[in-house]
Amino acid sequence: MHPMQYNVSDWITRLLEGDRAALSKTISYVESQRQDHREFALEVMQGLSTNAPDEDCHRLGFTGSPGVGKSTLINAFAQDFLANNPQSKLAILTIDPSSHRHGGSILGDKSRMPDIATDPRVFVRPSPSSGALGGVNRNTALVMQLLYLVGYKELWIESVGVGQSEVSIADLADTLLYLTQAEAGDGLQGIKRGVVETADIVVFTKIDDQDDGLSREVMRQWKQAMSLHQHESAGWDIPLVRTSANSRLGLDRLSSSVSQFIQHQFKGGFKEARRNRQRKARIRGLAEAALLRQFWEHPAVAKSIEAISRSTLSEEAMHKEVLTLIQQFKD
């Protein structure tokens, strides 16, 4: 008998009927540390799966520094999206930074999406980042797949997108928006940090005033710096879009840039190529994390590491010892 009281097929029926409480619970089971929870969730997902290709699913990523305006832009952009696509179902995953400036970030993110959080077509889910600073965690792709399986074909994900986690937002998004504020002196931080390598569209936020001269100057600098960079999809020039969630400046342009990118990816066959690359990156991330855990938890290896740490081995001898450790782990 299953360790959990619920019956898998009843549970699936609830999910397919649109039971939001059941959906929230299933996500918690996916993210749970408990083996029986995870097994139940995976069984449910297998039952939901049709094995049809998920080409009709669009994963839109919003990344950028804390406070840059991700949640507020999502709130505004989602209203436009739903107005233009009234039949669509939209799921939004926000990954809480572990230490949130405003405190109480779970309520915080929902309250920063006041106009959509209660819309029956929208499902907002804050997820813990499990200590990984990047936000996205090893379960995010699974959660997104679950949402897709219960009928959410438009999946948006908010993440600060820095730091070291097994899986990054660039390994998940079909379309990745990099949000930045056009601030003096800060303008090219994103380029310096190499985000342009992964961004498909650069979005300047909080440009409430069309005549904001500074933002134009910062944008010019970005344009110049980015002319040296080639996007992974041949023929795509990364658009730079000035937006404001408050005055709604640039939201139309953002919407058409996203549509153009989707078209470009589809026509050029880039979407599938990208998803393959992302799957590989996720496999790599998950495998590396699992292997490392096993390595550190391996009793003989752990013992040897203790011994080596306490010894007065020379640096070159220690390097040799590391190779021995790996052999010990493999045996």
Q: Write out the residues near Mg ion by the rule CB under 5 A.
A: 70-71
Contact yes or no for 196/169 (Cβ under 8 A): no
CA distance 142 to 27: 9
Site for ligand GTP in 87-106 (CB under 6 A): 97
**Least distance (Å) between residue 241 CB and ligand GTP:** 13
Q: Which of 24, 221, 246, 259: binder of ligand GTP (CB under 6 A)?
A: 246
**Least distance (Å) between residue 112 CB and ligand GTP:** 5
| Residue 66 interacting with ligand GTP (CB under 6 A) | yes
Chain centroid offset of residue 144 CA: 9
First to last CA, the chain: 36
- Other C-beta atoms closer than 10 Å to the C-beta of 3 total 10
DSSP 82-95: HHH-TT--EEEEEE
What does 208 interact with, of ligand GTP, Mg ion, none (CB < 5 to 8 A by kind)? ligand GTP
| Residue 71 interacting with ligand GTP (CB under 6 A) | yes
What does 150 interact with, of ligand GTP, Mg ion, none (CB < 5 to 8 A by kind)? none
What does 161 interact with, of ligand GTP, Mg ion, none (CB < 5 to 8 A by kind)? none
Closest to ligand GTP by CB, 118 vs 246, is 246
CA distance 178 to 159: 10
| Residue 70 interacting with ligand GTP (CB under 6 A) | yes
DSSP 99-166: S-TTS-HHHHHHHTSTTTTT-TTEEEEEEE-TT-TTS--TTHHHHHHHHHHTT--EEEEEE---S--S
| Residue 112 interacting with ligand GTP (CB under 6 A) | yes
Instruction: Report angle CA 271, 273, 276 to the nearest 5 degrees.
Output: 110
Q: Which of 176, 201, 218, 245: binder of ligand GTP (CB under 6 A)?
A: 245
What phi and psi values does residue 175 have, to the nearest 5 degrees? -130, 125
- Letters for 165-204 (x = contact with ligand GTP by CB under 6 A, - = none) are ----------------------------------------
**Least distance (Å) between residue 66 CB and ligand GTP:** 4
Say which DSSP state 18 is in.
Answer: T
CA distance 78 to 49: 27
- Other C-beta atoms closer than 10 Å to the C-beta of 21 total 8
- Other C-beta atoms closer than 10 Å to the C-beta of 27 total 20
- Point out which span in 19-27, 60-68, 265-273, 301-309 binds ligand GTP (CB under 6 A): 60-68
Closest to ligand GTP by CB, 67 vs 239, is 67
For tokens 């045996």, the residue is 331
**Least distance (Å) between residue 142 CB and ligand GTP:** 22
**Least distance (Å) between residue 197 CB and ligand GTP:** 21
| Residue 110 interacting with ligand GTP (CB under 6 A) | no
**Least distance (Å) between residue 160 CB and ligand GTP:** 5
Q: Which of 183, 186, 208, 209: binder of ligand GTP (CB under 6 A)?
A: 208
Token pair, residue 69, equals 């305006």
Chain centroid offset of residue 248 CA: 24
**Least distance (Å) between residue 75 CB and Mg ion:** 10
Closest to ligand GTP by CB, 71 vs 127, is 71
CA distance 182 to 189: 10
The residues binding ligand GTP (CB under 6 A) are 66-72, 97, 112, 160, 205-206, 208, 244-246
